[in-house]
Amino acid sequence: MTDEPDWLLLVLFSDDGGDWDSYLDAIYDYFKQDFVDSKPVFQVRRLGLKRHPMTHGKEATFWHMIQEGAIEEDRIPDFRRCERIRWPRPIIEHDTDKAIKVWANQRRGEQRICWWFERENYLVILADRGEYILPWTAYLVEQPHRQRKLQREYEEYCRNKRRKG
């Protein structure tokens, strides 16, 4: 990666000697620092967590940030997501950075807020619950058709926002 901001740090599997259990503990510790032990806010609203179901003592949001798959019980770890476990909070905190596109949309009947760091093709999605916001998931967007869809969503959001004044 070139020109990566200094607030984006990777946590590599090799840093823990290729030991999955040690690596899982390490990435969970970072997640816990960012979302459990501290109480982050976004635009004066607190970020909560989807805690349940707790699996192996870890919150549902954590698993959504490090695993992929459509069926909840069959999700598997994605090392690229794991490596980027330290990215969601700094991306949320840098929402005014011009490199990050932020917009709201509807997904499955819920209001969501998307943070897309397009240069790295990394997307953070939060569920807007009114008084608070839930970090929902975060992942690399590698498919060009999905990147185009996100760009269209963002542009449409900006057009609608300008119309509303």
pLDDT band at 165 (very low <50, low <70, confident <90, very high): low
In a domain, 7, yes or no: no
In a domain, 132, yes or no: yes
In a domain, 6, yes or no: no
In a domain, 122, yes or no: yes
Distances in Å between the Cα of 35 and the Cα atoms of 47, 119, 155 are 8, 24, 30
In a domain, 2, yes or no: no
Cross-strand bridge partners of residue 133: 47, 128
In a domain, 21, yes or no: yes
Q: Dump pLDDT digits (tens) for 113-154.
A: 999 999 999 999 999 998 899 999 999 999 999 999 999 999
Q: Dump pLDDT digits (tens) for 7-47.
A: 889 999 999 999 999 999 999 999 999 999 987 888 788 88
In a domain, 22, yes or no: yes
* Number of domains the chain is built from: 1
Domain hosting residue 119, numbered range:
13-164
Residue 95: name the closest of 44, 19, 162 by CA. 44
In a domain, 41, yes or no: yes
For the residues of 50-103, what is the DSSP string, one character each?
---S-BTTB-HHHHHHHEE-SSGGG-EE-HHHHHTTTSHHHHHHTTTSTTEEEE
CB 104 within 8 A of CB 121: no
Give pTM, 2 decimals: 0.90
Position 2 pLDDT exceeds 60: no
